[in-house]
Amino acid sequence: MAHAVEHEYTTTGLNHRKMLMWVFLGSDCLFFGSLIATYMVYRGQSLVGPYPIDIIDIPLTTISTFVLLMSSFAMVRALAATQADDKKGTVNWLLITAGLGAIFIGFQIYEFNTFKNEGLTLGGNLFGATFYTLTGFHGAHVTLGIVWLVAAAILGAKGRLHSGTALDVELLGLYWHFVDIVWIVIFTLLYLIGGFDAGPTAIPSG
């Protein structure tokens, strides 16, 4: 048994599973970085509208962002409960985290539907293509996290999450916090900074 435990760690002293998670998050960071860079380059170059300033709803997205931030707090509480062998607390906080994530997705679906009704489509212009691709992939990551959270809550209800298996919840927490941090970057660049873009500057004739 001691031999098995020994090989759970790398030469750096970091658990193999945690190391793999960090590698995954690092590669995912590069992926989102490329999507964000693409958006920042092309967001104001659409020759036809709608443009960000026409449809971006900063107050609404601020609320959804707050909800997602609160889910990170709930995730911290879930890990603390697991480490304290608090079965009920673990399950409750995991479900609260999942519920807040689901509310965030609900906001995103509402936003997408509103934007579609206002003429912003995936193939309509460069802004639409880059916006939906970036926020859509982030939404997919949140959805995956929700599924993981619910699955973890089920395991917790069966008594399979405790201080001895807290690493399982810690890895889930790393993923969830990463998704939240990525959204903060997206919210800042797409909404707070890029939300006032009015399209390419008109070039005077003559």
Whether the per-residue pLDDT at 8 is higher than 90: the answer is no
Q: How confident is the model at residue 77 (pLDDT cuts 50, 70, 90)?
A: very high
Each residue's pLDDT tens digit, 137-158: 999 999 999 999 999 999 999 9
Classify residue 119 as left (phi > 0), alpha (psi -120 to 50) or beta: left
Whether the per-residue pLDDT at 71 is higher than 60: the answer is yes
* pLDDT attached to residue 180: 98
| Residue 173 vs residues 21, 97, 112, 139: alpha-carbon distances, Å | 11, 10, 27, 17
Enumerate the H helices of 52-204 as residue ranges: 52-55, 58-83, 87-117, 126-157, 166-186
Each residue's pLDDT tens digit, 156-200: 999 999 999 999 999 999 999 999 999 999 999 999 988 777 666
Question: What domains does the chain contain, in order, with CATH numbers?
Answer: 2-48+56-196 (1.20.120.80)
Closest CA to 97 of 67, 118, 74, 69: 74
pTM of the model: 0.88
Length of the chain: 206
